[in-house]
Amino acid sequence: MPEILRFDQKNFSQCVLSLIGRKRELSSDIRENVARIIEEVQKNGDEAVISLTSKFDGHLLEQNSMRLSQDIVERAVRETPTQLMDDLRFAAERIRRFHELQLPQNMSAADGAGGYYAMQWTPVDAAGLYVPGGQAAYPSSVLMNAVAAQVAGVKRLAMTVPIPQGLPNNTVLAAAHLCGIEEIYPIGGAQAIAALALGTQSIMPVHVITGPGNAYVAEAKRQLFGNVGIDMIAGPSEVLVVADQSLDPNIAAMDLLAQAEHDEDAQSILLTDNEDYAQDVIKSVEHHLTTLPRAEIAGESWRTNGGVILAPRTAFGDVINMIAPEHLELAIKNPDEVAQTVRHAGAIFMGSKTPEAVGDYVGGPNHVLPTSRSAQFSSGLSVFDFMKRTTKLHCTDESLAILGPVAARLADAEGLGAHAASVRMRLGCKHKG
C-alpha cells in the first residue's frame, strides 16, 4: 500500500519531500567503486575495460578492437521485423522534426559604440551515447540521443551499450544502424563512461557524454564531468500523474505502472483532489500487478516508492513545483489551466489522451529528462547539449576610443597593468590597429 499524503496534514511539505527523497541516497560504496573503476580504466585502458566487462557482463571483448563488427549490426537489421523497422523510422523522423525546431541562430549586432558583438553556435566534434541495457533494452534511447546529436551537427558518434552474456539486442543495433552509428562498443557501466571520457587504445575520447544509466553510470558521469561534458546526472525514473474523475482510474493505474516497471527504484505518484477516486486507482494498480509481465519489478517500485497525494485543484501547481517531476501527466479537465502554474517539470503530457508512453517513443520531444528534482534548474536532452556558443567582439578605432579608456581604468583598479597597457598602447597608435 503506497503512502497517502493530504494537503491539510501537519508538515505536508516535509512529508512530500521525504516521499520523493527515498530513492535518491547514494551509498559511499558506489562512489568508491566508481572511482576505482575510473582509475583502472585511466591506467590500463583496453585491458581494464575487457576485464571489467567480463566481470560485470559475462562476455569477453576482442583484445585489439572492442568495436562491434558491421556483420553483427547488419545481421541484427536483417533479423528485425519489417514493421518494427518502419516504426523506428517513424519515431526517428518525428524526433528529428522536433529537434530541428530547436536549432539556435547565430546573432550579430552593432554594439552602440561603432563596433559589433556576435555569438555563433558550433557542435562538438564527438559525442558518446550511453544506451542502457540492464533491466530492459531501449532502442528508443538510441534514437533520442543520436538524432539530437545529428541535428546539432555532431560528426562522430560513439555508442556504448551493455550486452549481458554477450547477446546483443537486435532492435537496439537496428536503431543504431538507422541513425548511421558505426562506432558501437558492447560495454556498459562506469567503465563505459570512463572509456568514452578518457579514451583507451581502442576508443578515442569524446567531448560530450549523454544518455541515462544506473547509479554507477550516473556517478561516473558526476566524477568525470570536467574531463568531458555531460547532459545530466540522472537518477531513477519518475512520473507524477495528476488526474481527476474524467480519467478512468484503470488508465491512471496503468500510467503509474508504466513508470514503475522500469526498475525497483522508479517512482510513481498520483496527485488528485478526490479520495474515492484515489482509492479506485490504488485498487486498480493492485489488480494490474497480477497480470503485468514485469509485475515483480513494478510491484516493488510501487510499494516502496509509490505515493498518493490528495490536494485541492487550486494547490496542484504548488505541489507539482515542489516535486519537480521528470514526467508530469496532466490527465485532467482543462489541463492548460494547471500547466500555466507549472515552473518545474522535465516534460508535461497534456490531457487525458496523452500518455507519457507516447512521449517515450514517438511524440517528438526528447525522453532523456531531469530527475530527482533537478527540473528546478535543468532541462531535458536537446540539441543544446551537443552545441556550444562562442562570442565575438570587434572593435574599430571609433569604438576603441570609447571603450578603451574605461577598460584601462578598470584594469588599473584590479591591479592588472598589462591589461591596461594593452589597451593604452592601441589608443596611442590607432593607425596600426
Catalytic residue among 207, 327, 344, 367: 327
HEC string for the chain: CCEEEECCCCCHHHHHHHHHHCCCCCCHHHHHHHHHHHHHHHHHCHHHHHHHHHHHHCCCCCCCCCCCCHHHHHHHHHHCCHHHHHHHHHHHHHHHHHHHCCCCCCEEEECCCCCEEEEEEEECCEEEEECCCCCCCCHHHHHHHHHHHHHHCCCEEEEECCCHHHCCCHHHHHHHHHCCCCEEECCCHHHHHHHHHHCCCCCCCCCEEECCCCHHHHHHHHHHECCEEECCCCCCCEEEEEECCCCCHHHHHHHHHHHHCCCCCCEEEEEECCHHHHHHHHHHHHHHCCCCCCHHHHHHHHHHHCEEEECCHHHHHHHHHHHCCCEEEEECCCHHHHHCCCCCCCEEEECCCCCHHHHHHCCCCCCCCCCCCHHHCCCCCCHHHHEEEEEEEECCHHHHHHHHHHHHHHHHHCCCHHHHHHHHHHHHCHHHC
Active site residue 59: no
In angstroms and rounded to an integer, the radius of gyration of the C-alpha atoms of the chain is 25
Beta carbons of 151 and 179 less than 8 angstroms apart: no
Active site residue 177: no
Beta carbons of 219 and 235 less than 8 angstroms apart: no
CA angle (208 as vertex; 77, 261 as ends), nearest 5: 55
Grid cell of 179 as nine digits: 541513425
- In this structure, the strands spanning 238-243 and 183-185 are unpaired
Catalytic residue among 40, 183, 238, 326: 326
Grid cell of 38 as nine digits: 575510473
**CA-based nearest residue to 188, from 52, 78, 385, 283:** 52
Beta carbons of 239 and 359 less than 8 angstroms apart: no
Residues known to be catalytic: 326-327
